[in-house]
Homo-oligomer: A and B are copies of this chain.
């Protein structure tokens, strides 16, 4: 029994006669009130302005927008598209460097190293220089090599962003002079040894110790127990020569305690002999073994037994030890030094957010192209229809495509802010970028992870063929949610920052740029929702960017205000830690809501800035879907606080389904505008010329 049959057999008999009177009555009432209100209040807060009307003209009144892929894709491109194309072309010219579908862990690691050395020394791509000169260019390269093999993207990140970044950002000139070239040309492959078996998120809890020995002018690195073994360290199992080891700096003192713990510092520790590549004395390295994905990266575990390193190997930008064992720092407390140290590592998160958007583009492109090609069932005695013509399939893939566009612009914005921060070192901007990168990294990587599963499922059995990519994309991307800061922990940092801003507001202080909207919407929120607009359900109202932004921000403001009240209440009995934990789900929702607001705002900016009318109309349509889908996802909250009346909730749902349908009509052009060459997407079922997909696929298996 298929669905046609069911639908038909049920309806052909057609003997049901219950009129939906309630709903119709409600709709009429609402329309009447809306009209009445237009008479009474000619200047309405959400009255569509000229610009909006223009958007609506393009986006909804004509049935399909005539998108010119080339024009749209030119607008979408980041400014470092050229270097991404160079990366793609390099690997396209070197099929021997392509990762095969089946490869052993050990071979994969060797291949990945060859890919890295190849693209740097032969391809002339110099990621370490871009890290210094133009971070945006660096992130573009990492995304591009990640499309070739995500292991390579991560291997590159370990070398240049983590190992290289720690030397650049936590060290001083002497370290740069000594290590820059070796890191740059991969003569010095290195590790970033922070995480321990027992401590990941809680970095201040790490237990590795670096004790200063004033007699020999050395630090002695020790792993005091098994829980302190450095774990998951990339480049450690096979290739690394050095490691930046995070350890508690212990200094001898002349008081009764005899020692003083100065908190977590970073040290350069050689781990393998430069010539023989043998593990150095006192260092024990084990292979962390197979992972769910990213098996091209050689993660290892490191134990140190009284390993001596010269005093100069302390990365001493934020704190130093003199020859006679005196500690000096420009920063007054352990916590400030720790914050400064970790603050320098924010680049990794920016890169992950950016690359995650790229992963989603590949998956969405493959899934949508296949869904346009694939036909199954259809009206009686008529040809089968494409599976993307099914409402359920549109529901799976179209909000995802809209999010992908939204994330694209948000990630570009983040990279821009980050680059600005690296130039200006502006205090406020540092806090802003820290929170924005934490929020976008966690929000985008979680969304992409879920989407990869949905894409596989949307492609049915053929999505399960390894050659069609979803398996490796998901397995490799999965850990993006965890490394460089667990997503749940990062979202709490966002919530914490919001609460701090909230506090500032009541103190009358200034708000950081990104958060400025809170002041305004907090005021709107504190005055109750307008009982008339809560019933408005017209398309021109729902698709007005002012309504959309207000809805997102109202939610954020309300969540912020209510969690603040709850925290205050609970902290009396539970203490601050207990209160925080009691409100944790609430805090995480708040953080997500805020990030969604930021993403929407950036998307709206991008729509507005688009010079080509057709592209702008297409982007506006996609942006509307993003907004409606998110509002509908949390319709319970909106209803609960009476921000929307039942009729409006229904209208939002209806419009979301309608926009899915509209976006579907230009879905092919929208994924083509991501501009991914076939040799990057690689999946036979996801080729640009969809009509060739099946024959590509049959050829692949040997027919």
A residues with CB within 8 A of B = 1-16, 18-20, 101-102, 104-105, 195, 197-202, 204-205, 226-227, 229, 231-232, 284, 286-293, 301, 303, 335, 339, 342, 375-380, 384, 389-393, 395, 449-450, 453, 456-457, 460-461, 463-467, 470-471, 474-475, 478-479, 481-483, 486-489, 492-493, 495-497, 499-500, 502-503, 506-507, 561-562, 564-569, 571, 575-585, 588, 634-636, 639-641, 646, 649-650, 657, 694-695, 697-698, 700-703
The answer to whether A379 and B578 touch across the interface, beta carbons within 8 angstroms, is yes
The contact of A499 among B6, B101, B104, B199, by CB within 8 Å, is B6
- A2 proximity list for chain B (CB < 8 A): 201-202, 204, 489, 493
The answer to whether A465 and B289 touch across the interface, beta carbons within 8 angstroms, is yes
The answer to whether B1 and A392 touch across the interface, beta carbons within 8 angstroms, is no
Cβ-closest chain B residue relative to A635: B636
The answer to whether B449 and A453 touch across the interface, beta carbons within 8 angstroms, is yes
Q: Give the complex CA separation of A5 and B489 in angstroms.
A: 12
Q: Give the complex CA separation of A380 and B339 in angstroms.
A: 17
The contact of A16 among B5, B342, B470, B506, by CB within 8 Å, is B506
- A576 proximity list for chain B (CB < 8 A): 4, 7-8, 10-12
Q: Give the complex CA separation of A164 and B3 in angstroms.
A: 28
Most chain B beta carbons < 10 A, residue from A286, A561, A698 = A698
Known A-B contacts A496-B3, A565-B20, A639-B640; the reply to A577 vs B479 at CB < 8 A is no
The contact of A478 among B453, B495, B577, by CB within 8 Å, is B453
- A483 proximity list for chain B (CB < 8 A): 461
6 closest Cβ pairs, A-B complex: A6-B496, A292-B471, A7-B580, A290-B466, A636-B636, A391-B584
The answer to whether A293 and B471 touch across the interface, beta carbons within 8 angstroms, is yes
Cβ-closest chain B residue relative to A227: B694
Q: Give the complex CA separation of A471 and B291 in angstroms.
A: 8
The contact of A453 among B284, B377, B450, by CB within 8 Å, is B450
The answer to whether B461 and A481 touch across the interface, beta carbons within 8 angstroms, is no
The contact of A379 among B457, B575, B702, by CB within 8 Å, is B575
Cβ-closest chain B residue relative to A14: B568
* Chain A facing B: main interface SS: helix
Most chain B beta carbons < 10 A, residue from A13, A226, A375, A488 = A488
- A475 proximity list for chain B (CB < 8 A): 471, 475
- A10 proximity list for chain B (CB < 8 A): 496, 499-500, 503, 567, 576
Q: Give the complex CA separation of A635 and B583 in angstroms.
A: 20
Most chain B beta carbons < 10 A, residue from A14, A102, A701 = A701
The answer to whether B479 and A464 touch across the interface, beta carbons within 8 angstroms, is yes
Q: Give the complex CA separation of A286 and B700 in angstroms.
A: 10
- A565 proximity list for chain B (CB < 8 A): 16, 18-20
The answer to whether A390 and B584 touch across the interface, beta carbons within 8 angstroms, is yes
- A286 proximity list for chain B (CB < 8 A): 701-703
Q: Give the complex CA separation of A464 and B477 in angstroms.
A: 11
Determine how close the nearest CB of chain B comes to the CB of A448; give it in whole angstroms.
Answer: 12
Cβ-closest chain B residue relative to A466: B290
Q: Give the complex CA separation of A529 and B265 in angstroms.
A: 63
- A499 proximity list for chain B (CB < 8 A): 6, 10
- A102 proximity list for chain B (CB < 8 A): 104-105, 290
Known A-B contacts A10-B567, A453-B478, A493-B1; the reply to A703 vs B581 at CB < 8 A is no
The contact of A493 among B3, B390, B634, B657, by CB within 8 Å, is B3
The answer to whether B465 and A585 touch across the interface, beta carbons within 8 angstroms, is no
- A11 proximity list for chain B (CB < 8 A): 567-568, 571, 576, 579
- A6 proximity list for chain B (CB < 8 A): 492-493, 495-497, 499-500, 580
Most chain B beta carbons < 10 A, residue from A7, A453, A499, A698 = A7
Most chain B beta carbons < 10 A, residue from A496, A497, A641, A657 = A496
19 extra A-B contacts, CB within 8 A, seeds A11-B579, A198-B375, A292-B474 = A1-B342, A1-B493, A4-B576, A11-B576, A13-B503, A14-B571, A16-B506, A16-B568, A198-B694, A199-B376, A226-B694, A226-B703, A303-B703, A392-B588, A460-B486, A461-B479, A585-B657, A635-B636, A640-B650
16 A-B pairs in the complex with CB atoms less than 8 angstroms apart: A4-B577, A6-B493, A11-B576, A16-B506, A101-B290, A195-B461, A200-B376, A226-B694, A232-B461, A291-B465, A392-B585, A395-B584, A450-B453, A461-B479, A471-B478, A640-B649
Q: Give the complex CA separation of A204 and B378 in angstroms.
A: 12
Q: Give the complex CA separation of A483 and B465 in angstroms.
A: 13
Known A-B contacts A10-B503, A226-B694; the reply to A466 vs B289 at CB < 8 A is yes
The answer to whether B496 and A1 touch across the interface, beta carbons within 8 angstroms, is yes
The contact of A202 among B19, B205, B384, B487, by CB within 8 Å, is B384
Determine how close the nearest CB of chain B comes to the CB of A585; give it in whole angstroms.
Answer: 5
The answer to whether B291 and A466 touch across the interface, beta carbons within 8 angstroms, is yes
Q: Give the complex CA separation of A293 and B500 in angstroms.
A: 46
- A231 proximity list for chain B (CB < 8 A): 461
- A640 proximity list for chain B (CB < 8 A): 635, 639, 646, 649-650
Most chain B beta carbons < 10 A, residue from A13, A104, A487, A575 = A575
The answer to whether B8 and A200 touch across the interface, beta carbons within 8 angstroms, is no
The answer to whether A461 and B16 touch across the interface, beta carbons within 8 angstroms, is no
The answer to whether A200 and B657 touch across the interface, beta carbons within 8 angstroms, is no
Known A-B contacts A492-B3, A493-B1, A635-B636; the reply to A461 vs B200 at CB < 8 A is yes
- A470 proximity list for chain B (CB < 8 A): 292
Q: Give the complex CA separation of A470 and B698 in angstroms.
A: 32
- A13 proximity list for chain B (CB < 8 A): 503
- A502 proximity list for chain B (CB < 8 A): 16
- A481 proximity list for chain B (CB < 8 A): 457
Known A-B contacts A457-B481, A496-B7; the reply to A577 vs B392 at CB < 8 A is no
